[in-house]
Amino acid sequence: MYRTHTCGDLRATDSGKTVTLCGWVDTTRDHGKGMFIDLRDRFGVTQVCVTPDSSAADLAVAKELGREFVIRATGTVHPRPAGQENPRLATGEIEVHVTSLAILNPSATPPFLPGQKELPGEDLRLKHRYLDLRRPKMQRTLELRSAIIKRMRDYFEQHRFIDVETPILGRSTPEGARDYLVPSRVHPGSFYALPQSPQLYKQIMMVAGYDRYVQVARCFRDEDLRADRQPEFTQLDVEMSFVDSDDVMGMIDGLMAKLMRELKGVEITTPLPRMTYDEAMRRFGHDAPDLRYGMELVDITDLAAACDFRVFRGTADEGGCVRGLCAIGAAERYSRKLIDELTEFVRNDHGAKGLAWFKVEADGTLASPIAKNFDGAMLTRIAERFSAKPGDLILLVADAWEVTCRALNGLRRRLAAELKLYDPDSMHLSWIVEFPMFDWDAEEGRWVAMHHPFTAPRDQDLAKLADDPKGCRAKAYDLVINGYEAGGGTIRIHDSKIQQQVFGLLGLDEEEAVRRFGFLLDALRYGAPPHGGIALGIDRVVMLFGGLDNIRDCIAFPKTQRAMDLMTEAPNTVDPKQLAELAIAVLRQSKS
């Protein structure tokens, strides 16, 4: 055997044993006639000692060692001398005295070290991902990912779900993000599409009578990237027959309770809290609000309409709104300069026209450059509306409803981080329900699906499909954790006539709907049961459970925000012969 134990196994009870360890040289310390080597693998670190009793050959090998050399050490386990124990290491009570030392593979000088305190830039780490993955934090994160996926599989097996793999090569059904296309050599000019999700296949599984389906599915979307988005990602895909929204959410409630209990040591109360989409937008300006803290939004449009401040009154008269938030105790913290920075933030990052503010003085009055535009009674009413106390800071945005939502949500999140309003290790889980069925795309002049075109409307809103699409609410639900959408699902349309009606609203006539989704419409005519499901973003769930800020840190080999793999340099050009076999010609686009 190459090794008898890992570098995290040995304890004081192993004293006297002869063992063999393999791993990477973390550090070395030369004491002249002897050397200390910290030997590391993903299980831990063990101190290996080349002592004066070791052979001259072993001492010579030890003096050749560099950082990240791969070595094999055989020796005897000894207790460390009294007072020299290392309580930071699980193996800190022992050391291994070498009787045989061998270099299995030397290492070139690494561009960075896995154990160094100051990390280099992300691009360098992604280019040398094999070194970055040796970092203990990365190893713990991937172990957490493995533990989460195992518990997910165990949970759904206990609830009699069947794990089914769906195709990676499917057909393109453009709706939402762009597909990644795969050319067919056998059928020149035709293309497969990589799945954005297994949505259609899992619905077919329900029509086929499999009742409860689950899959850890790889998905692909060719879309503009953000810090928490990747072109390829992994989701827990779930579908169930003969269920309503409560059944699906209840199943996920149980899963989240299990993960919180077993991985965080926290018991959570189920069912998880629920909030409608309309309430979330009104109170927090976003459909995935972070509920670890308050600082809810307040609407003072009615007061603005009656005041003498031209900006507020004009906005109200034009059908806009004036909304804001109250940062408790923040008046002293935020100087005029810092408030100016917040103003630029809502302008540049969120498209707002500006930011108005009031500081609450010790006597309860409101102080601001715009205070002169309000009489005392109106200022008092504004302070009362926000329940503002001395030392508080009121921040206001006057604009269209959508802009106030966007700007105040961003402002709320920024202030909460700067004011440390929440424990970064805490987790708050909830559901957002009753989303709109449709959103109006002004550029294309048509309705688009808020979730996807297979989402069922609420029973009481069926009539609105014909005469009030904007007022139609969906049987849709999103799982929100700490202000992130961790998963989303819907009850599906199982009636082919209603599905065709929805397609019509989305601008797909019968012929186009059959061309794109004919197989699904056919399946719905052959005894489709009521069904629904959900997809949880595994990458994002790991990020949240691991307390990470960047989704790339919980994926073994992620892409950059420009969809590049810096380690393998993908995507890249291919041999012209391959393109010829696929009947593909590459058009060179001008850089202008």
Which CATH number covers residue 65?
A: 2.40.50.140
Statement to judge: residues 312 and 379 lie in one domain: yes
pLDDT computed for residue 217 by the predictor: 97
pLDDT computed for residue 175 by the predictor: 60
Statement to judge: residues 100 and 204 lie in one domain: no
Statement to judge: residues 239 and 123 lie in one domain: yes
CB 103 within 8 A of CB 70: yes
pLDDT computed for residue 32 by the predictor: 81
Statement to judge: residues 164 and 306 lie in one domain: no
Q: In the sheet where 212-220 sits, what is the strand order?
A: 162-163, 212-220, 232-241, 531-537, 484-491, 476-481, 429-433, 274-276
Residue 509 has pLDDT above 90, yes or no: no
Statement to judge: residues 47 and 183 lie in one domain: no
| Band of pLDDT at residue 440, cut at 50, 70 and 90 | confident
The percent of residues in the chain predicted with pLDDT above 70, rounded, is: 98
Statement to judge: residues 260 and 368 lie in one domain: no
Name the residue type at position 438. F
- Give the pLDDT mean for 225-250: 92
Residue 470 lies in a domain: no
pLDDT computed for residue 1 by the predictor: 77
Show which of 55, 82, 105 is a domain's final residue: 105
Show which of 105, 138, 160 is a domain's final residue: 105
Residue 174 has pLDDT above 80, yes or no: no
Statement to judge: residues 408 and 377 lie in one domain: yes
Return d(Cα 410, Cα 344) in angstroms, integer. Answer: 12
SS3 343: helix
Residue 533 has pLDDT above 80, yes or no: yes
How is residue 115 written in tokens? 């154990």
pLDDT computed for residue 227 by the predictor: 63
Statement to judge: residues 135 and 260 lie in one domain: yes
Q: Range of 332's domain?
A: 293-421
- Give the pLDDT mean for 563-586: 93
Q: What is the pLDDT of residues 273-317, one digit of tens each?
A: 999 999 999 999 999 999 999 999 999 999 999 999 999 999 999
Return d(Cα 429, Cα 470) in angstroms, integer. Answer: 28
How is residue 74 written in tokens? 């055989």
Residue 482 lies in a domain: no
Distance of CA 464 to the CA centre of its chain: 34
Residue 558 lies in a domain: yes
Q: What is the pLDDT of residues 37-60, one digit of tens each?
A: 999 999 999 999 999 999 999 999
Show which of 386, 402, 421 is a domain's final residue: 421
Statement to judge: residues 362 and 405 lie in one domain: yes
Which CATH number covers residue 217?
A: 3.30.930.10
Q: What is the pLDDT of residues 566-576, one digit of tens each?
A: 999 999 999 99
DSSP 459: G
Residue 282 lies in a domain: no
Residue 168 lies in a domain: yes
SS3 464: helix
H helices of 97-180, where? 122-127, 129-132, 136-158
pTM recorded for the entire structure: 0.93
Distance of CA 397 to the CA centre of its chain: 29
Residue 258 has pLDDT above 60, yes or no: yes
Handedness of CA 381, 385, 390, 395 (dihedral sign): negative
Q: What is the pLDDT of residues 130-150, one digit of tens each?
A: 999 999 999 999 999 999 999
Residue 213 lies in a domain: yes
Q: Tokens 């691009």 — which residue?
A: 123
SS3 396: strand
pLDDT computed for residue 73 by the predictor: 98
Statement to judge: residues 19 and 90 lie in one domain: yes
Which CATH number covers residue 312?
A: 3.30.1360.30
Residue 189 lies in a domain: yes
Residue 402 lies in a domain: yes
Q: Are strands 44-50 and 94-105 parallel, antiparallel or unpaired?
A: parallel
Statement to judge: residues 128 and 157 lie in one domain: yes
- Give the pLDDT mean for 339-348: 97
Statement to judge: residues 96 and 133 lie in one domain: no
| Band of pLDDT at residue 592, cut at 50, 70 and 90 | low
pLDDT computed for residue 4 by the predictor: 98
CB 461 within 8 A of CB 472: yes
Both ends of the chain: CA-CA distance in Å? 61
Number of domains in the chain: 3
Q: Are strands 438-441 and 393-399 parallel, antiparallel or unpaired?
A: unpaired
